[in-house]
Amino acid sequence: MANGAWLAVAWLLTFAGPATAGERGGAIRDLHYGEVLFHFYQQDEFTALTHLLAARQAGRVTRHAVDAELLLGGLYLSYGQTDQATAIFDRLLAESADPAVHDRAWHFIGKARYQRGLFAEADAAFERVGTQLTAALRDEHEMLRAQSLMAQGRFDDAAARLETVRSDGGWLAYVRFNLGVALVRLARDAEGTAQLDRVGRLRSDDAELLALRDKANLALGFAYLHAQDGERAREVLERIRLNGPHANKALLGVGWADVLQADYRQALTPWLALSNRDPLDSAVQESLLAIPYAFGRIGADGSAAEHYVGAMVSFDRELAGLDAAVVRARTGRIVPALLADDDRTIGRWHWQLDHLPESDDARYLYRLVADHTFQDGLRSYRDLVALREHLTDWRDKLAVFENMVDTRSLAHAERLPRIERRFGGIDPAELRSRRDDFALTLDMIEAERNVVGLADKTEAEQWSRLAALESSPAWQAPQAAAARDRQRVLKGVLWWRLDADYRYRLWQARRNLAELDRGLAATAELSASARLARADRPVELETEQMRIAALQPRIEAMQARIDAVLQRQETHLQAMIADELEAQKRRLASYRIQARFALATIYDRTAVAAAGAAADGEGATP
């Protein structure tokens, strides 16, 4: 049976992978790549993957091409799309000569094979990894290698490998724990308990590692119990926190450790404390039988009988509760109830059910939710529900988009005549020609140093008027001498002013020409864009309408497929729940039989003792 410890390792495996492919290693050169990382680092992998695929298609991650591919492969791997992931890493191996890229690609290929259960093949890929992995990825690499070796039964190789690892990551404790329990299962107690003992003594403030430490001590304690070493069992079981998730089993074990040392009275202390806890916990149920057993051993048959009767009442009550829960499980009410408090955030595919909802049924499922197979199934169920709801959101949005595009089509049709009128009056070629005339004139002015050519409107008028006087018939008359002098002075003053400002005016004229060029360019761009918009917009709108029309049935078809698979997944989970409840019923029934049998034995013993006492009494009577 799998358990939470494996789940924790699995989380580390799946999450650590892609992170290292995109971890900060310098400045971001594509904003959209950074934006993908922003979602990824928040464990919103679905959004990260969607945005990365979109950015890649739009050519927005070209400056991070290799990193983006590695990240994409890692995300695909986490999302269970092993084929796509492997294809990406194969391509990277073929196209890149960078040893760091090769190392990462081989690592991820190994991980993909590992996830498929191809452990020997995974090892072969891991062997190709060199020295260029980042520290975080190196941790994951070592963990996967050790897990892969264990999966092949190569425990000695796994243990040797772990000894060479230098890491302060919590994963090492998880792997060591897995190795320890695997060795114990193979009856290699000395090696197994050595590994477990190292985990059982670890120091940490981390809640998960503390829970793992408890779990290691629990496994270690029961391994010693199995070997009938009560003293050492008690010692390690007492390391377990009394408020932790493994406290009940620890209390039970401590009692049995005392029994192994024939100290039945001492065994009653932890067991009586345990019997007041949740009656559905298997350790508590076992304590209900263990207590009267201990009373019996110390000769307190009355108390023993009383506790056996109490245990049977408790078992009967729980059996009735289990019967009702089995009915609810088979009618499909438990699975949706398990997810009643879920936030349904899409994309967190390392999700697992951490807290059971407050309900009668949930009390029976503590063991089951610790099973990773059930958690995997529940995660898939939850993913499907979330995907269905996500698609429902899209379906609603598509209806809005459809309206929007229709409205834009109408608006475009209404605006088109106005646009035509506005842009119809503009002739870019004519504007260009006028600009060229102006530039030519300016060149001539500069070539001839024609200072009058740069006169403003008033000055030009003044110059014309002064010049016009010279063509008057009376201009050469003697009487006009004073006027001629005056005109000459005025003309000279004007020319002098124009000449003095000539360089400035020329610079200004050139600047105006440059501005004109920019304006003309902008007009041309705008005009071209408007012309294109006029021509292309109807096509674009039609394309958008067609895209929307094509997507709508795809969403509906996808939702139908999801519904069908969801139904099968729910049935599968219901069966697992019902099996678990039936197993609990069988265990309780077995306990009940044991209680009845023990009670009958006590009654027999009491009756025999009473009969013996009576016989002795009769014998003594004269």
Partner 1 sequence: MTPIVRFFIRACVTAACFAILPAMPGLAADLQPVSLDAEVQTLKGAVLDLNRELFMLEEELLYPANTQVAVFVSMDVGEFFALDSVQLRLDDKPVANYLYTEREVDALHRGGVQQLFLGNLKAGDHELVAIFTGIGPHGRDYRRGATLAFDKRIGAKYVELQISDKVSKQQPEFRVREWE
Q: Where in 21-50 is the site for partner 1 (CB under 8 A)?
A: 22-25, 27-28, 31, 33-35, 37-42, 46, 49-50
In the numeric block, the tokens 């039988």 are attached to 289
3-state SS string for 191-223: HHHHHHHHHHCCCCCCHHHHHHHHHHHHHHHHH
Q: 285 vs 455, which CB is nearer to partner 1?
A: 285
- Classified as helix, coil or strand, 546 is helix
Q: Kindly tell me the sign of the dihedral angle through the C-alpha atoms of 90, 92, 96, 99.
A: negative
**Which of these segments, 160-168, 383-391, 457-465, 467-475, binds partner 1 (CB under 8 A)?**
383-391
Q: How far is CA 118 from CA 149, 155, 221, 609, in A?
A: 11, 17, 34, 65
Which SS3 state, helix, strand or coil, does residue 621 take?
coil
Task: Report the nearest approach of partner 1 to the CB of residue 608 (Å).
Answer: 19
Q: Which of 164, 162, 242 is nearest to 199 (CA)?
A: 162
Least distance from partner 1 to the Cβ atom of residue 208, Å? 15
Q: Which two tokens stand for residue 86?
A: 């492997």
> What DSSP string runs through 146-171?
HHHHHHTT-HHHHHHHHHH-----TH
Q: Which amino acid is at 445?
A: I
Contact range with partner 1 by CB under 8 A, out of 161-169, 299-307, 386-394, 614-622:
386-394
Give the whole-angstrom CA distance, residue 57 versus residue 65: 12
Using CB under 8 A as the binding rule, the residues of this chain from 279 to 338 that contact partner 1 are: 282-283, 286, 289-290, 293
DSSP letter for each residue of 364-383: GGHHHHT-HHHHHHHHHHHH
Residue 569 is a binding residue for partner 1 (CB under 8 A): yes
Q: What residues from 393 to 422 belong to the interface with partner 1 (CB under 8 A)? A: 394, 397-398, 401, 404-405
Structure tokens at 585: 């019923």
Region at 332 (left for phi over 0; alpha for psi -120 to 50; beta for the rest): left
Of 80 and 130, the one with the shorter C-beta distance to partner 1 is 80
Report, in Å, the least distance between residue 297 CB and partner 1: 9
Among 432, 558, 578, 596, binds partner 1 (CB under 8 A): 558
Beta strands in 578-621 (DSSP E): none
Enter the tokens of residue 365. 């499922």
Among 110, 170, 253, 321, binds partner 1 (CB under 8 A): 253
Amino acid identity of 396? Answer: D
User: Quick check: 561 binds partner 1 (CB under 8 A)?
Assistant: yes
Question: Does 10 participate in binding partner 1 (rule CB under 8 A)?
Answer: yes
Q: How many residues bind partner 1 (CB under 8 A)?
A: 107
Q: Measured from the CB of residue 38, what is the shortest distance to partner 1 in angstroms?
A: 3
- Distance between CA atoms of residues 441 and 435, nearest Å: 10
Contacts of 301 (CB under 8 A, 6+ apart): 295, 602, 605, 606
| Residue among 23 and 446 whose Cβ is closer to partner 1 | 23
Decide: is 588 part of the binding site for partner 1 (CB under 8 A). no
By CB under 8 A, name the one of 391, 469, 490, 524 that touches partner 1.
391
Task: List binders of partner 1 among 146-185 (CB under 8 A).
Answer: 147, 150-151, 177-178, 181-182, 184-185
**Among the candidate windows 89-97, 143-151, 497-505, 607-615, which touches partner 1 by CB under 8 A?**
143-151
Site string for partner 1, 71-100 (x = CB under 8 A): --------xxx--x----------------
Q: How far is the CB of 35 from partner 1 (least distance, A)?
A: 5
Q: Which of 91, 116, 449, 511 binds partner 1 (CB under 8 A)?
A: 116
Q: Indicate whether 368 belongs to the interface with partner 1 (CB under 8 A).
A: no
**How many residues belong to the chain?**
622
Write out the binding residues for partner 1, residues 182-211 only, by CB under 8 A.
Answer: 182, 184-185
**Nearest distance from C-beta of residue 44 to partner 1, angstroms:** 9
- Least Cβ distance, residue 413 to partner 1 (angstroms): 18
φ/ψ (deg, to 5) at 133: -75, 150
User: Judged by CB under 8 A, which of 344, 486, 488, 554 binds partner 1?
Assistant: 554
| Member of 70, 101, 112, 223 binding partner 1 (CB under 8 A) | 223
* HSE, side-chain direction, 13 A CA sphere, residue 544: 18
Q: Which is nearer to partner 1, 113 or 453 (CB)?
A: 113
Picking from 581, 565, 209, the residue whose alpha carbon sits closest to that of residue 366 is 581
Backbone phi and psi for residue 58, each to the nearest 5 degrees, phi listed first: -85, 5
68 binds partner 1 per the rule CB under 8 A: no
Using the rule CB under 8 A, give the single segment among 126-134, 218-226, 320-328, 457-465 that binds partner 1: 218-226
Helices (H), strands (E): how many in the chain? Answer: 23, 0
Q: What letter would DSSP give residue 480?
A: G
228 lies in the site for partner 1, by CB under 8 A: yes
Measured from the CB of residue 497, what is the shortest distance to partner 1 in angstroms?
A: 37
Which one of 116-124, 425-433, 453-461, 476-484 is the stretch in contact with partner 1 (CB under 8 A)?
116-124
Minimum Å gap between C-beta 90 and partner 1 is: 18
Question: Judged by CB under 8 A, which stretch of 4-12, 97-105, 409-417, 484-492 contacts partner 1?
Answer: 4-12
Kindly state whether residue 58 participates in binding partner 1, applying the rule CB under 8 A. Answer: yes
Q: For residue 618, what are its two tokens? A: 């009769």
